[in-house]
């Protein structure tokens, strides 16, 4: 449609200059306006009418399209167009309305303002168009004067700006909500602060550098001052985190952040900004560089975001405290057992092949607590922790138990010699200088299991083995150790089960008088017959019973069985037979041991002197005071006491004098070659010692007549051994007695 065909097109030249124009000085920036009309003259007169117009501080920049199709292409290519002055009737009667649909539905641009202009209103009735189409204004060309056109443009652009502000606010709030949700998933202070910088960068939509600073106390390990430390950074040197802000070689940024932190308020500059974060007792400051000044709406969004960040910052501090409580040792500030398991998880999965994990167990630490008090004990643990950290600074160290430390590092550093060297000098605990040593268990990466818990178990296996060694005090894990441990656990389980089902038996080996040849007693020996009828050696299962603590229950059963056997012998008229049973140190350590023995004699109605308890030198030396105290009480009640394996240990003669003994038992090791020349010195010495102490002396392990003859020469009182009889069940023992009466 051309201007010459419509005389009303001259409306644009109507002089209405006496009306006040909507002009606002000069400003930077532009508003992009698209004029769409198939008449070139309309383009000219429209642009002329709007010349030099400044709207909200910006001038107008014009784009032109002469058909609906061209208009769609121009809008698609220029996303910053804010206003379209659109003719309705062009290449088709509804070409303009098609453009409206394209803008709203295809491009999904709800922000662009559209002013429909038509010289033929009948083709697009105003009422129906307003109802059906999202347009800003609808004008007939006959009613538009210059003043009205200016007012329409001004209103449309102002409307666009308001919509843009709302849109920006909505998008900003969406970013805040999304960013805050993402931050809620970050639980460490380092992750949270780094995430905050990332979210701030996205919110202001600028490529910036950023710093997140706070006081290091409670955040950075081994930091106890109130200086500002860089917790996270973006765009600066990677060496900045965990460093003091003062190390930053930018005096101005340093000053900005210090001022913001001191004045406790946000500060904005032409080239940057500082945001003050505070919630509860948690305070921090964020600095961001800017490539361009922020608009007011951006500042408002930032302040909303910082409010949420402050809450989250306090939360991660609380989470950090909870984590420290869960994963840090309160005394040494080292990782605790739970954290060490996680460290071992990483060790098993990612550590180099030359790495090793170890446990360090302090020997006799409980003695320090008992003798000097828990406070000194705690100071000793702290001293050990500090020495470990100072010498093994490149290693990971943890306090795994009360007096057990864990360490992970390279095999060049974590070695037996290196760890032993740590304990060469005494530790200072208060005013005390305490020498202390330790045992060590090691597990190399080669043998490490796939989980932290299993690796810890592997090191424990090695540590338990090291505790049993008297010379080296350390051991390395290997799969055979675990097999042995599994075997031991299976055997203990089977022993416990078979004991409860009555498969343990007492066998008896006769003891004879050398002078009369008569049976004067028997040693009760424990036998384990499994469900398949096979026997397991006492040398195998007795140590297992002691290790598991089951020996206490078994020992009580043995004492009662022996008393029952004595009662049976009395009923069979064998009145002068004593039964001796072996007693272990765990039994002595039970507070009711003396009562157990005496109650058994009373229960079975036997004379206490017919029950003899045999102890070894090793038991005596393990806990002499406890053993002697119990034996003295038992001796007063008539129980007989024998010292077994005499001469094989390292007992003190002073202890021997304190024991309420009835018999000394010469170990088979001194009997084996007794008949040979010059091989009976020790046996002779023991026999003479027994006579001088008014004790009966019995030799065990007699297998040859020559041994018996030599013992008679030496004046030995009693004997037992295979030469006379092997251990036998109760019924066979009765038969043996009948045949030797």
- Mean pLDDT, 10 residues at a time, the chain of 741 residues: 39 45 53 92 88 86 93 93 90 87 89 82 58 74 76 85 70 60 71 85 82 82 77 81 84 90 90 89 90 82 82 84 84 93 94 94 90 92 92 89 95 93 92 92 93 94 87 88 84 94 95 94 95 92 91 96 96 93 92 95 96 88 85 95 76 72 92 88 91 93 95 95 96 93 69
Class of residue 318 by CB neighbours under 10 A (exposed 0-12, middle 13-18, buried 19+): exposed
| 469-504 pLDDT, tens digit each | 777 889 999 888 878 888 888 999 999 999 999 999
Packing angle, helices 40-49 and 146-184, rounded to 10: 80
CB < 8 Å & 24+ apart, contacts of 262-266: 266/302, 266/303, 266/306
pLDDT in the model for residue 169: 65
241: nearest Cα among 230, 253, 226: 230
What is the distance between the alpha carbons of residues 485 and 496, in angstroms, rounded to a whole number?
Answer: 16
Q: Cα separations (Å) of 111 from 80, 194, 427, 429?
A: 10, 35, 76, 75
Packing angle, helices 452-468 and 479-500, rounded to 10: 80
722: nearest Cα among 677, 655, 668: 668
Specify whether the backbone of 324 is left (phi greater than 0), alpha (psi in -120 to 50) or beta: alpha
640: nearest Cα among 557, 579, 719, 586: 579
Half-sphere exposure of 534 (CA within 13 A, CB side): 3
What is the distance between the alpha carbons of residues 1 and 5, in angstroms, rounded to a whole number?
Answer: 7
Dihedral (Cα; 705, 707, 710, 711), 10-degree rounding? -110
What is the distance between the alpha carbons of residues 647 and 624, in angstroms, rounded to a whole number?
Answer: 17
Residue 344 phi/psi, 5° resolution?
-70, -30
pLDDT in the model for residue 348: 93
Residue-range domains of the chain with CATH = 3-168 (3.40.50.2300), 186-327 (3.30.450.40), 337-477 (3.30.70.270), 503-739 (3.20.20.450)
pLDDT in the model for residue 482: 79
pLDDT in the model for residue 184: 64
pLDDT in the model for residue 305: 79
């Amino acid at each position: 449609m051309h201007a010459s065909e419509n005389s009303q097109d001259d409306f644009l030249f109507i002089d209405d200059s006496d009306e006040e124009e909507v002009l606002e000085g000069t400003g930077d920036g532009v508003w992009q306006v698209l004029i769409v009309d198939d008449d070139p003259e309309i383009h000219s007169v429209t642009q002329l009418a709007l010349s030099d117009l400044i709207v909200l501080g910006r001038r107008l920049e014009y784009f032109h399209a002469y058909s609906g199709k061209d208009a769609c292409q121009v809008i698609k290519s220029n996303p910053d167009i804010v206003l379209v002055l659109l003719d309705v009737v062009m290449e088709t009667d509804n070409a303009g309305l098609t453009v409206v649909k394209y803008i709203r539905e295809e491009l999904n641009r709800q922000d662009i303002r559209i002013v429909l202009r038509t010289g033929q209103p009948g083709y697009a009735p105003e009422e129906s168009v307003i109802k059906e189409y999202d347009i800003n204004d609808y004008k007939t060309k006959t009613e538009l004067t210059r003043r009205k056109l200016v007012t329409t443009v001004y209103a449309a652009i102002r409307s666009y700006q308001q919509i843009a502000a709302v849109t920006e606010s909505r998008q900003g709030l969406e970013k805040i909500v999304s960013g805050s949700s993402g931050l809620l998933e970050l639980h460490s202070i380092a992750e949270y602060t780094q995430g905050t910088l990332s979210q701030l960068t996205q919110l202001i939509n600028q490529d910036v550098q950023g710093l997140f600073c706070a006081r290091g106390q409670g955040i950075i390990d081994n930091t106890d001052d109130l200086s500002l430390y860089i917790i996270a950074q973006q765009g600066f040197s990677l060496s900045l985190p965990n460093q003091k802000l003062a190390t930053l070689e930018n005096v101005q940024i340093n000053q900005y952040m210090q001022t913001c932190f001191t004045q406790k308020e946000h500060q904005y500059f032409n080239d940057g900004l500082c945001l003050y974060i505070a919630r509860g007792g948690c305070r921090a400051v964020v600095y961001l560089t800017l490539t361009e000044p922020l608009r007011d709406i951006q500042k408002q969004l930032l302040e909303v975001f910082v409010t949420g960040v402050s809450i989250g910052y306090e939360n991660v501090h609380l989470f950090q405290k909870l984590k420290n409580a869960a994963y840090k040792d309160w005394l040494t500030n080292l990782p605790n057992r739970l954290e060490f398991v996680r460290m071992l998880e990483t060790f098993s999965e990612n550590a180099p092949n030359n790495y090793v994990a170890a446990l360090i167990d302090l020997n006799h630490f409980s003695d320090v607590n008992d003798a000097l008090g828990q406070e000194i004990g705690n100071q000793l643990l702290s001293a050990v922790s500090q020495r470990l950290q100072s010498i093994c600074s490149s290693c990971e160290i943890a306090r795994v138990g009360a007096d057990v430390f864990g360490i992970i590092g390279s095999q060049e550093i974590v070695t037996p010699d290196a760890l032993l060297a740590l304990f060469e000098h005494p530790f200072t605990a208060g005013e005390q200088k305490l020498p202390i040593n330790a045992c060590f268990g090691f597990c190399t990466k080669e043998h490490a299991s796939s989980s932290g818990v299993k690796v810890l178990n592997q090191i424990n296996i090695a540590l338990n083995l090291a505790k049993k060694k008297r010379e080296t005090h350390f051991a390395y894990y290997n799969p055979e150790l675990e097999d042995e441990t599994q075997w031991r656990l299976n055997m203990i389980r089977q022993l416990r089960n078979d004991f409860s089902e009555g498969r343990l038996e007492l066998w008896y080996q006769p003891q004879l008088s050398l002078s009369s040849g008569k049976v004067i007693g028997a040693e009760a020996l424990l036998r384990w017959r499994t469900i398949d009828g096979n026997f397991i050696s006492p040398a195998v299962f007795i140590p297992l019973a002691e290790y598991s603590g089951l020996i206490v229950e078994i020992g009580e059963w043995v004492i009662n069985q022996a008393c029952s056997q004595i009662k049976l012998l009395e009923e069979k008229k064998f009145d002068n037979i004593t039964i001796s049973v072996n007693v272990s140190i765990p039994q002595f350590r039970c507070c009711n041991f003396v009562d157990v023995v005496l109650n058994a004699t009373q229960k079975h109605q036997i004379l206490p002197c017919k029950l003899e308890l045999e102890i070894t030198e090793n038991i005596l030396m393990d806990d002499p005071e406890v053993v002697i105290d119990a034996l003295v009480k038992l001796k007063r009640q008539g129980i007989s006491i024998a010292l077994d394996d005499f001469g094989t240990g390292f007992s003190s003669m002073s202890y021997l004098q304190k024991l309420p003994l009835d018999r000394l038992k010469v170990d088979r090791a001194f009997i084996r070659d007794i008949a040979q020349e010059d091989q009976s010195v020790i046996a002779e010495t023991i026999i003479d010692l027994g006579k001088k102490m008014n004790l009966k002396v019995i030799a065990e392990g007699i297998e040859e007549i020559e041994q018996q003859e030599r013992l008679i020469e030496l004046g030995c009182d009693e004997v037992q051994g295979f030469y006379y009889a092997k251990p036998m069940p109760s019924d066979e023992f009765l038969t043996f007695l009948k045949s030797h009466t």
